[in-house]
């Protein structure tokens, strides 16, 4: 009987099926009702507010220093975003900055040419990233515990290597170039180009390649990903190495920008990185998020910080800005999640209603897990 | 007769949105008896257990305990009323000691306000000894065998004074001697006047242990039999019920060259020396009981699980161990048993789900964008008649049957030479079931080799060209379509091979 | 049919001596003694001088207190990264109470410090329990927020020892039978919490929650209540830690306690608390904290720059989780082998 029913309905169903909509929501809803849009809007509103009310905000120099100050965070958050999307976390990136800064400074101090010293530091960062990755994937330890441990370890090595000395005396033409505006009077420094290039690179990998599809799949369900041919552990390992590489490159940049290699460079950056990413709508449970959102989160924190500083709230506002925005964003996300869960459960009743007319008269099945 | 049954269910019904999981369930349990509830997968046994245990609330019908109507809102109320449920995989706290697990939430205190460990230890020892399985009360629960964990759960239910003890497929993961031990305990409890409900697939156990057998099929009550007056054949007939030929429209397919060749595959403690071949156009079914090792064999072939020795070849080429990606390149597809956890990313859209396994093929110059994915997703969703609104609808919004179609579409899109389907119709409605069967049959008709795992006998009978019966990790019988009957498959699955031979 | 009990009973009790020798606590005690002995041989003043003896015994008290709270939180399969910031706020709050209300009763100040810590912990706990956001994210946020509040409030100021009443400052140096009173007080707290965690229902429920959260929910243990309890305990202990900090150092600025969260996690993990929750003893944590604090005292004496201290903390954390993992795997293997043998 059921087989007949299926045959009869084939044509009608087939006709309907060919007309699936591409998206379940209209374009403007998809564009507007997302974290990225909210954050970008918040940034724009904040800048308008700051320009009109905060003295000295509307000057190229303000933007220049703002980007310079936030550049390390904006760079480091790119690979960490991918790591968080797979459901892992890397808390050691700030210490890798210090580690790379120490290696870079010592190599330079030992007379190694600057580019080679930078290369050594970046390779070193790749290796410590590999250590994290091996402990997480091969040994199977939780990434949170591992990277809390290596956070202390890498920082300890950096501080231990350099002691209380600071290595300075990097060639001034290099350090000045690093901090210089793109062109005379431009509101953005040279490093902006690097941020944009690296960000586009990571955005392409994450959003436009099969590898990126795998990254999302691991975060959504690592078991399903494994059953679909995603090399789960290899992907996670690659991401930890990438994170080490980018963080150490950031360490080199940071050292040159301040012309100062000390063991405490990048102290606490890991928390700012995670905050920016979570604020930008990347789910800490994995599976959801975008490079644009994470970057926007970082920019919002930087803008807020700069605004508060110029408004005279205090010179050291970064921690309260970071903390309060993070708590604010998870509270808002928590409430939004609650609302959408309620709406979804209503929607699923409606969706299920489509099936009702055939399921009820033939009540011969059982849900696997309710 | 003037007695009150311990527990009575009449006309109990439970639906989940679109799907009716249980219709008019009937069960009358008397004190001092062991009552078997038996049926195929999807017959509604688990739903029944969950209603009794307070995990679900019934939609309709009467539920009497000691003659009084009850309606549990949660497991705690059911427990307080004297109902204990022991699940197949017990839920103990692995870091706590056995004694503490027994008393969790109601630990006794000494006069000085500390836990009375001596008392807990003493009672635990007494209880486990009474059950014939002395377990060290001080050892932690981690590492206890499943059999011992069940003993702890049973001891817990006795110590809280449960009148009704439900065991949901307790023997599925037990060895023969452990089953004996459990049955001894069950008889002892029965003799103490408790009522036991015993859910099982295995006839030998049911007939050896139980006084009454209630058979369920497709979510409904079929019949209740006294063990003394019924026969295995009668029970099997009640379970299988419907006429097999009407449901499944298997087409004749041309059976060709061997596609998959598995030789001496062994994974210590899971399966041993498994060898078989699947040819193009052929549907080979792995039949057997839940826990017999069928899924494990399939997972090892696909490379999700490791194996110790043996070989897997596709079209003569060796399939590397533990690499699903390599298996996919050689043309293997795998529709897993648990579509929610292994088949789908539930919170991702239909399109991303369908194209996940073919993301490399769809990429142009290494890049993949939604427009490249859309045609495949659209084609396969339409060909499988997935009922959905839009391509970005989340998979969790679909009904079970439509979810399964999405998983099938995902794997058909890879154009497999061999498709492994593990319980392809579990938990989906009858109409979709027939569609899935038609589809698999058509697929075989196009020359694809199919390895199917199913616990539903009519499905096995209807679809298989060849049935391989797996029992305790070994292939114990190979039955061609012509000679396979529900009776001999079930017999081979439940009886040791020397008896079957 | 009668049941024959031929099934081998799952492994019996391990030998008493074997269990003692395997315990993390014993290993830590041995390491502490070895470290102290080694350091005293190099530099007798490390142990055999008034100041040396006192520092050895009273310095660890701060870390022990916050590590206890951290351990309770980790046992429930959560983490609290805000303890350092809470410690700072409590220390400064106590200092400014003394300064603004001269003559204020000391117990009242102590109570205020603990209550402030407990309140900040309550905020953590409520956010974690009700937002369904990992505690890592929440306490990362409050680590910053609490620190930010401290920075806004304290600014460039710092606590001056002249603010504090003499009686309070003398707590730091007071000794009873040659043992610093602070250590005695902390030891009593360790005993009380240890007793609570092993011998009260709530304590056992905290372990159960971390051991198997799904089972805890199914069982109806009261997951949210337990989570909040753990965070309040952690906050209160961090608050107390701030008071002890004040008694020992009699100073403090807006950066007090920076990085303590990592030391607390390290002490808990080194003391045998599994980062995935459910196991570990309070005694082990106290010893782990004592060990870490002693390392940082001993390193400079041994000629190792104290700068390397943090990398040793890192090695200890990674080493401890590796060790746990290896122990776990071998235990599972052993259990499996037994399983197949029967």
Which has more pLDDT, C328 or A218?
A218
- Is C172 part of any domain? yes
Is the confidence at residue C292, as pLDDT, over 50?
yes
**What pLDDT score was predicted for residue C339?**
47
pLDDT at A358: 30
CATH number for the domain spanning C199: value is: 1.10.3470
Distance, in angstroms, between C134 CA and closest chain A CA? 8
**pLDDT tens-digit readout, B242-280:** 544 445 667 777 888 999 999 999 998 889 999 999 999
Express each pLDDT in C107-148 by its tens digit: 999 999 999 999 999 999 999 998 878 888 889 889 988 988
Q: Does C151 map to a domain?
A: yes
**Angle, helices C201-211/C60-75, rounded to nearest 10 degrees:** 70
For B32-86, list the strands marked E by DSSP.
33-38, 60-65, 68-69, 83-86
Take residue C59 and report the two structure tokens written for it.
């310095």
Six-digit token pair at C274?
């599994």
The percent of residues in chain B predicted with pLDDT above 70, rounded, is 92
How many separate domains does chain A show? 1
pTM of the model: 0.82
Q: Which phi and psi angles does C5 have, rounded to 5°?
A: -95, 65
C335 in a domain, yes or no? no
Residue (of B289, B334, B282, B296) closest to B466 by Cα position = B282
3-class SS letters over B182-243: HHHHHHHHHHCCCEEEEEECCHHHHHHHCCEEEEEECCEEEEEEECCCCCHHHHHHHHHCCC
Angle formed at CA B254 by CA B251 and CA B255, multiple of 5 degrees: 115
CA B100 vs. chain centroid, Å, equals 30
Phi, psi angle pair for B282, to nearest 5°: -100, 145
CA distances from C197 to B94, B200, C71, C73, C160 (A): 17, 41, 11, 12, 38
Task: Write down the pLDDT at residue C18.
Answer: 56
Residue B41 has what pLDDT? 63
Find the CB nearest A160 among C141, C275, C305.
C305
Task: Flag whether C163 is in a domain.
Answer: yes
The Cα B465–Cα B444 span in angstroms is 10
Let me know: does B329 contact B314? Beta carbons within 8 Å.
no
Query: pLDDT tens-digit profile of B472-499?
Result: 888 988 999 888 887 888 788 877 655 4
Q: Could C219 and B104 be called an inter-chain contact, meaning their C-beta atoms sit closer than 8 Å?
A: yes
Lowest mean pLDDT among B49-63, B135-149, C83-97: B135-149
Q: What is the mean pLDDT of residues A214-233?
A: 93
Homologous superfamily (CATH) of B256-331+416-501 is P-loop containing nucleotide triphosphate hydrolases (3.40.50.300)
In a domain, C84, yes or no: yes
Q: What is the pLDDT of residue A225?
A: 94
CA atoms of B48 and B58, how far apart (whole Å): 9
Distance in Å, alpha carbon of B356 to nearest chain A alpha carbon: 7
For residues C302-327, give the mean pLDDT.
81
Residues of A in contact with B400 (CB under 8 A): 365, 367-368
Domain range for C169:
51-329
C229 contacts C201 by C-beta, under 8 angstroms: no
Range A94-114 average pLDDT: 93
Is residue C32 one of the residues assigned to a domain?
no
Considering only residues A279 and A198, tell me which one the structure prediction assigns the higher pLDDT. A198
Mean pLDDT of B193-201: 86
Span of C100-109, C225-234, C282-291 with lowest mean pLDDT: C100-109
pLDDT at A174 (0 to 100): 83
Contact C10 B105 (CB under 8 A): no
Closest CA to A323 of B390, C120, C340: C120
- Nearest residue of A to residue B437, measured between CA atoms: A3
The reply to whether A204 touches chain B by the CB within 8 Å rule is: yes
Look up the domain containing A135 and give its range: 29-350
> pLDDT at position B424, please?
87
Q: Is residue A12 part of a domain?
A: no
The reply to whether C23 falls in a domain is no
In terms of pLDDT, which residue wins out, B132 or B417?
B417
Q: What pLDDT is recorded for position A343?
A: 60
Separation of alpha carbons C40 and B234, rounded Å:
85
Per-residue confidence at C22, pLDDT binned at 50, 70, 90?
A: low
From-to residues of CATH 3.40.50.300 in chain B:
7-92+144-240, 256-331+416-501
Q: What is the DSSP string of C146-171?
A: HHHHHHHHHTT--B-GGGS-HHHHHH
E strand or H helix that includes residue A167: none
Residue A81: give its domain's CATH number.
Answer: 1.10.3470
Q: Do the Cβ atoms of C144 and A274 come within 8 Å?
A: no
Token pair of C299 as six digits: 């390193």
Instruction: Give the tens place of pLDDT for each residue, C203-262.
Output: 999 999 999 888 887 777 888 999 999 999 999 999 999 999 999 888 888 888 888 888
Q: Does residue A242 carry a pLDDT above 90?
A: yes
Report the distance separating Cα B301 and Cα A152, nearest Å. Answer: 43
Q: What is the pLDDT of residue A234?
A: 95
So what's the pLDDT on residue B498? 52
pLDDT of residue A28: 72
Q: How many beta-carbon pairs below 8 A join chains A and B?
A: 206
Q: What confidence tier does A170 reach under pLDDT thresholds 50, 70, 90?
A: confident
Using CB atoms and an 8 Å cut-off, which of residues 321-350 of chain B contact chain A?
324-325, 327-328, 334, 336, 338-348
Size (chain C), residues: 342
Q: How far apart are CA A113 and CA B79, in angstroms?
A: 75
B430/A348 touch (CB, cutoff 8 Å), yes or no: no
Residue of B nearest to A225 (CA): B342
User: Span B7-92+144-240: which CATH code?
Assistant: 3.40.50.300
- With 50 as the cut, is the pLDDT of residue A68 above it? yes
pLDDT at A97 over 80: yes
What does chain A come to in residues?
Answer: 370
More confident residue, A90 or C27: A90
Two structure tokens written together for C31: 């390491």
Residues in chain B, overall count: 501
- Determine the residue of chain A that is closest to B425 in CA distance: A365
Is the pLDDT at A93 greater than 50, yes or no?
yes
Which of B18, B24, B199, B355 is the best substitution to test chain A (most A C-beta atoms within 10 A)? B18
* pLDDT at A201 (0 to 100): 96
Checking if the pLDDT of C305 tops 80, the result is no
A 281-320 → B contacts, CB under 8 A: 287-288
In a domain, A5, yes or no: no
Report whether pLDDT(C12) > 80.
no
Question: Quick check: B139 and C10 CB within 8 A?
Answer: yes
Q: Is the pLDDT confidence value at C285 over 70? A: yes
For residue A345, pLDDT over 80 is answered with no
* B188/A contact by beta carbon, under 8 A: no
B374, containing H or E segment: helix B370-383
Distance from the Cα of B369 to chain A's closest Cα (Å) equals 6
- Do A337 and C315 count as a contact with CB atoms less than 8 A apart? no
pLDDT greater at residue A346 or residue B105: B105
Domain assignment present for residue A327? The answer is yes
SS3 C260: helix
> What's the whole-number mean pLDDT along residues B341-370?
89
Q: What is the model's pLDDT at position B17?
A: 63
Distance from CA of C169 to the nearest CA of A (A): 31
Residue A9 CA to residue A102 CA, distance in Å, equals 71
User: C177 or B328: which carries more pLDDT confidence?
Assistant: B328
d(CA A192, CA A176): 15
Query: CB C140 to CB A150 under 8 A?
Result: no
Average pLDDT over residues A16-27: 69
- C204 contacts: CB under 8 Å, gap ≥ 6: B96, B100, B104, B107, B115, C197, C198
- Concatenating the DSSP letter of every residue in B102-137 gives HHTTS--B-TTSSB-HHHHHHHHHHHHHHTT----T
Q: Is residue C30 part of a domain?
A: no
Is the CB of residue B59 less than 8 Å away from at least one CB of chain A? no
Contact call for A327 and C147, based on CB within 8 A:
no
Q: Which of A38-47, A274-283, C312-321, C332-341 has the lowest mean pLDDT?
A: C332-341
- pLDDT of residue A163 exceeding 90, the answer is no
Burial B261-271 (b: 16+ CB within 10 A, else e): bbeebbbeebb
Does some domain include residue A367? Answer: no
Which of B295, B260, B265 minimizes the C-alpha distance to B278? B260
CB contact (8 A) between residue B324 and residue A14:
no
**Each residue of A116-133: pLDDT tens digit?**
999 999 999 999 999 999
* CB-neighbour burial class of residue B379 (10 A; exposed 0-12, middle 13-18, buried 19+): middle
Domain assignment present for A8? no
DSSP 8-state code for residue B340: I
Confidence of residue B458 (pLDDT cuts 50, 70, 90): confident
The radius of gyration of chain C from alpha carbons, rounded to an integer in Å, stands at 22
pLDDT of residue A6: 38
**Which tokens go with B361?**
């093929």
Is the predicted pLDDT of residue C7 greater than 50, yes or no?
Answer: no
B145 with C11: Cβ contact below 8 A: no
Q: Which residues contact A341 (CB under 8 A, 6 or more apart)?
A: none
Mutate which of C201, C205, C342 to disrupt the B interface (most B C-beta within 10 Å)?
C201
d(CA B259, CA B14): 44
Please report the pLDDT score of residue A5 as a whole number. Answer: 37
Q: What is the mean pLDDT of chain C?
A: 84
Lowest mean pLDDT across A344-348, B55-59, B186-190, C126-130 = A344-348
Reading across the β-sheet that carries B271-279, which strands appear in turn? Answer: B271-279, B258-267, B309-314, B317-318
Shortest distance, CA B424 to any CA of chain C (angstroms): 28
Residue C79: CB partners within 8 Å, gap ≥ 6? A144, C70, C73, C135, C136, C139, C265, C275
Choose the weakest-confidence range: B19-23, C15-19, C53-57, C143-147: C15-19
Residue C52 has pLDDT above 90, yes or no: no
Chain A residues with CB-CB distance to C142 below 8 A? 323, 327
Is the pLDDT confidence value at B429 over 70?
no
Query: Scanning the structure block, which residue is given the tokens 């790591």?
Result: A83
Task: Give the closest residue to A88 by CA, choosing from A97, A80, A96.
Answer: A80
User: What is the C-alpha separation between B387 and A14, in angstroms, rounded?
Assistant: 10
Per residue, what are the HEC states of B386-448? CCCCECCCEHHHCCHHHHHHHHHHHHHCCCCCEEEEECCCCCCCHHHHHHHHHHHHHHHHCCC
Give contacts of C334 with chain B, Cβ < 8 Å. 143
Distance from C-alpha of B133 to C-alpha of A168, rounded to nearest angstrom: 73
Q: Which chains touch A (3 or more CB pairs under 8 A)?
A: B, C
Number of domains chain C is built from: 1
Distance in Å, alpha carbon of C183 to nearest chain A alpha carbon? 27
The DSSP H or E segment spanning B384 is: none
Residue B2 banded pLDDT, cuts 50, 70, 90: very low
Average pLDDT, chain B: 85
């Amino acid at each position: 009987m059921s087989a007949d029913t299926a045959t009869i309905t084939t044509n009608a169903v087939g006709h309907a099926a060919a007309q699936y909509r591409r998206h379940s929501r209209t374009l403007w809803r998809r564009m507007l009702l997302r974290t990225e849009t909210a954050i970008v809007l918040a940034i724009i509103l904040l800048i308008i507010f700051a320009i009109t009310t905060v003295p000295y905000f509307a000057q190229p120099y303000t933007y220049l220093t703002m980007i310079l100050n936030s550049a390390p965070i904006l760079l480091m958050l790119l690979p960490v975003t991918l790591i968080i999307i797979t459901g892992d976390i890397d808390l050691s990136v700030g210490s890798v900055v210090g580690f790379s800064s120490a290696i870079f400074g010592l190599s330079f101090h030992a007379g190694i040419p600057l580019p080679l010293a930078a290369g050594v530091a970046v390779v070193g960062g790749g290796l410590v990233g590999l250590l994290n990755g091996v402990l997480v994937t091969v040994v199977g330890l939780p990434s949170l515990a591992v990277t809390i441990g290596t956070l202390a370890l890498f920082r300890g090595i950096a501080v231990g290597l350099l002691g209380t000395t600071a290595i300075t005396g990097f060639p001034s033409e290099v350090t000045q170039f690093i901090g210089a505006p793109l062109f005379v009077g431009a509101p953005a420094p040279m490093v902006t180009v690097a941020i944009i290039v690296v960000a586009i690179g990571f955005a392409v990998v994450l959003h436009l390649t099969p590898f990126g599809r795998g990254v999302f799949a691991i975060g959504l369900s690592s078991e399903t990903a494994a059953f679909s041919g995603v090399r789960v552990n290899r992907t996670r390992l690659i991401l930890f190495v990438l994170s080490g590489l980018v963080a150490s490159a950031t360490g080199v940049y940071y050292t040159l920008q301040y012309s100062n290699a000390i063991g405490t460079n990048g102290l606490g950056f890991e928390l700012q990185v995670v905050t920016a990413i979570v604020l930008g709508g990347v789910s800490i449970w994995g599976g959801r998020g975008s490079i644009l959102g994470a970057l926007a989160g970082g920019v919002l924190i930087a803008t807020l910080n700069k605004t508060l500083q110029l408004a005279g709230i205090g010179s050291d506002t970064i921690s309260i800005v970071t903390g309060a925005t993070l708590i604010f964003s998870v509270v808002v996300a928590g409430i939004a999640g609650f609302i959408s869960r309620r709406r979804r459960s209503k929607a699923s009743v409606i969706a299920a209603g489509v099936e009702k007319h055939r399921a009820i008269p033939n009540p011969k099945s059982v849900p696997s897990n309710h | 007769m003037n007695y009150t049954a311990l527990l009575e269910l009449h006309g109990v019904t439970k639906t989940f949105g679109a799907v009716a999981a249980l219709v008019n369930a009937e069960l009358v349990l008397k004190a001092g008896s062991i009552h078997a509830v038996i049926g195929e997968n999807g017959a509604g046994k688990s739903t029944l257990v969950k209603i009794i245990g307070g995990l679900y609330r019934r939609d309709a019908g009467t539920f009497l305990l000691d003659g009084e109507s009850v309606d549990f809102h949660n497991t705690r109320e059911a427990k307080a009323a004297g109902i204990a449920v022991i699940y197949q995989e017990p839920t103990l706290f692995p870091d706590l000691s056995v004694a503490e697990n027994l008393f969790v939430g109601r630990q006794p205190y000494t006069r000085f306000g500390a836990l009375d460990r001596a008392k807990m230890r003493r009672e635990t020892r007494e209880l486990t000894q009474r059950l014939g399985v002395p377990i060290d009360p001080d050892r932690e629960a981690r590492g206890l065998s499943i059999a011992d964990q069940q003993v702890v759960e049973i001891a817990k239910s006795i110590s809280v004074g449960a009148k009704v003890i439900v065991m949901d497929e307790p023997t599925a993961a037990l060895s023969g001697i452990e089953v004996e031990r459990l049955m001894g305990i069950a008889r002892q409890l029965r003799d103490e006047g408790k009522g036991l409900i015993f859910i099982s697939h295995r006839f030998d156990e049911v007939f050896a242990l139980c006084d009454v057998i209630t058979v369920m099929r497709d979510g409904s009550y079929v019949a209740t039999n006294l063990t003394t007056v019924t026969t295995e054949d009668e029970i099997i007939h009640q379970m299988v019920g419907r006429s097999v030929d009407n449901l499944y429209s298997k087409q004749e397919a041309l059976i060709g060259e061997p596609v998959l060749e598995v030789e001496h595959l062994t994974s210590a403690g899971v399966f041993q020396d498994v060898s078989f071949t699947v040819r193009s156009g052929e549907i080979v079914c792995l039949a057997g009981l839940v826990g017999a090792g069928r899924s494990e064999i399939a997972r090892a072939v696909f490379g999700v699980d490791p194996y110790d020795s043996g070989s897997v070849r596709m079209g003569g080429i060796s399939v590397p161990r533990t690499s699903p990606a390599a298996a996919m390149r050689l043309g293997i597809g795998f529709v897993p048993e648990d579509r929610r956890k292994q088949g789908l990313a539930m919170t991702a859209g239909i399109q991303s789900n369908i194209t996940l396994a073919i993301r490399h093929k769809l990429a142009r110059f290494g890049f993949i964008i939604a427009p490249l994915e859309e045609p495949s997703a659209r084609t396969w969703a339409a060909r499988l008649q997935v009922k959905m609104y839009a391509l970005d609808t989340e998979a969790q919004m679909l009904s079970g049957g439509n979810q399964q179609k999405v998983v099938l579409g995902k794997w058909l899109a890879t154009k497999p030479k061999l498709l492994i389907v593990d319980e392809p119709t579990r938990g989906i409605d009858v109409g979709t079931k027939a569609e899935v069967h038609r589809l698999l049959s058509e697929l075989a008709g196009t020359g694809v080799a199919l390895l199917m795992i199913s616990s539903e006998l009519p499905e096995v009978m209807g679809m298989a060209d060849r049935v391989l019966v797996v029992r305790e990790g070994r292939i114990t019988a190979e039955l061609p379509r012509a000679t396979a009957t529900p009776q001999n498959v079930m017999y081979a699955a439940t009886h040791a091979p020397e008896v079957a031979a | 049919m009668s049941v024959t009990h031929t099934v081998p009973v799952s492994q019996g009790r391990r030998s008493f001596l074997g269990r003692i020798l395997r315990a993390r606590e014993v290993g830590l005690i041995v390491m502490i003694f070895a470290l102290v002995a080694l350091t005293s041989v190099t530099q007798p003043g490390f142990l055999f001088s008034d100041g040396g003896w006192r520092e050895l015994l009273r310095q660890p008290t701060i870390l022990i207190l916050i590590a206890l709270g951290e351990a309770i939180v980790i046992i429930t399969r959560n983490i609290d990264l805000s303890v350092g910031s809470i410690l700072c706020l409590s220390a400064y709050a106590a200092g400014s109470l003394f300064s603004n209300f001269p003559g204020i009763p000391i117990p009242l100040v102590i109570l205020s410090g603990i209550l402030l810590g407990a309140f900040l912990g309550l905020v953590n706990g409520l956010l974690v329990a009700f937002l369904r956001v990992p505690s890592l994210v929440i306490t990362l946020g409050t680590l910053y927020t609490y620190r930010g509040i401290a920075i806004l409030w304290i600014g460039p100021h710092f606590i001056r020892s002249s603010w504090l009443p003499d009686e309070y400052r003398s707590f730091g140096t007071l000794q009873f039978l040659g043992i610093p009173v602070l250590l005695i007080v902390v030891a009593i707290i360790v005993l009380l919490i240890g007793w609570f965690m092993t011998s009260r229902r709530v304590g056992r429920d905290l372990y159960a929650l971390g051991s198997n959260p799904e089972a805890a929910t199914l069982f109806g243990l009261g997951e949210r209540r337990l989570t909040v309890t753990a965070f309040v305990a952690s906050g209160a202990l961090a608050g107390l830690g701030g008071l002890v900090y004040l008694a020992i150092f009699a100073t403090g600025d807006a950066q007090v306690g920076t990085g303590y969260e990592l030391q607390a996690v390290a002490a808990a993990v080194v003391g045998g608390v599994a980062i995935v929750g459910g196991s570990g003893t309070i005694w082990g944590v106290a010893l782990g904290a004592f060990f870490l604090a002693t390392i940082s005292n001993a390193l400079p004496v041994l000629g190792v720059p104290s700068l390397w201290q943090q990398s040793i903390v890192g090695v200890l954390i990674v080493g401890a989780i590796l060790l746990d993992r290896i122990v776990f795997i071998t235990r599972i293997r052993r259990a499996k082998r037994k399983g197949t043998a029967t």
